[in-house]
Structure 1
Amino acid sequence: MSIPFSLEGKRGIVLGIANRHSIAYGCAEVLRELGAELCVTYLNEKAKPFVTPLAETLTAKLFLPCDVSKPGELEAVFAEVEKEWGTIDFVVHSIAWSPLDELHGRLVDSSDKGFSMAMDISCHSFIRAARLAEPLMKENGGALITMTYYGSEKVVDHYGMMGPVKAALESSVRYLASELGGSGIRVHSVSPGPMPTRAGSGITDFDGLMTDAVTRSPLHRLGSPQDVGRLTAFLISDWASSQTGSQLFVDAGHHIMA
Structure 2
Amino acid sequence: MKHHHPILEGKRALVVGVANEHSIAWGCAKAFHALGAELVLTYLNDKARPHVEPLAAQIGARLLPLDVREPGQLEALFAELTQLGQLDILVHSIAFAPKADLQGGLLDCSLDGFLQAMDVSCHSFVRMAKLAAPLMTQGGSMFAMSYHGADKVVPNYNVMGPVKAALESSCRYLAHELGPRDIRVHAISPGPLKTRAASGLKDFDLLLSDAVARAPLGELVDIDDVGQVCAYLASDFARRLTGSTVYVDGGLNIIA
Which range, TM-score by smaller chain? over 0.9
Q: Distance in 1 between matches of 2:210 and 2:101?
A: 24
Which TM-score applies when normalising by structure 1? Answer: 0.96
Question: Aligned residue for 1:153?
Answer: 151
Cα distance, 1:129 vs. partner?
A: 0.6
Which position in structure 2 is the counterpart of 1:6?
Answer: 7
Equivalent AA in structure 1 for residue 19 of structure 2:
A
Match of 1:164 in 2: 162
Deviation at 1:51, TM superposition (A): 0.5
Unaligned runs of 5+ in 2: none
AA matched with 1:78 = F
| Cα distance in 2 for residues equivalent to 1:90 and 1:2 | 20
The letter for the 2-side match of 1:39 is V
CA distance in 2, matches of 1:128, 1:233: 23
Distance 1:121 1:115 in 2: 10
Residue type matched to 2:199 in 1? S
Which amino acid is 1:125 matched to? S
Counterpart CA distance in 1 for 2:122 and 2:165 is 9
SS at match of 2:246: strand
Structure 1 partner of 2:233: 235
Task: String of CA shifts for 1:232-258, please: whole Å, max 9, x gaps.
Answer: 001111111111001101111111111
Residue 64 of structure 1: aligned partner: 64
In the aligned structure 1, how far is the partner of 2:101 from the partner of 2:203? 15
The Cα offsets for residues 71-95 of structure 1, whole Å up to 9 and x where unpaired, read as 11111111101112x2110101101
TM, length-normalised to structure 2: 0.97
Equivalent position of 2:81 in the other structure: 81
How big is the shift at 1:98?
Answer: 0.5
Higher mean displacement: 184-193 or 72-81: 72-81
Distance (whole Å) between structure 2 residues aligned to residue 130 and residue 190 of structure 1: 16
Note if contact 2:6-2:36 (Cα within 8 Å) is conserved in structure 1: no
Instruction: Return the offset for 1:210.
Output: 0.3
Please state how far the C-alpha of 1:160 moved relative to its aligned partner.
0.8
Report deviation, 1:4.
Answer: 6.3
Measured on the aligned residues, the alpha-carbon RMSD in Å equals 1.3
How far did residue 100 of structure 1 move?
1.2
**Structure 1 pair 96–141 and aligned structure 2 pair: CA distance change class (3 A):** same
Q: Percent identity?
A: 56
User: Where does residue 255 of structure 2 map in the other structure?
Assistant: 257
Deviations 1:107-135 (A, max 9, x none): 11111111000000000010001000111
* Larger CA deviation: 105-114 vs 17-26: 105-114
What is the match of residue 96 of structure 2?
Answer: 97
Between the aligned partners of 2:75 and 2:244, the Cα distance in structure 1 is 26
Partner of 2:138: 140
The Cα of 1:3 is off from its aligned counterpart by 7.2
How much does 1:99 deviate? Answer: 0.9
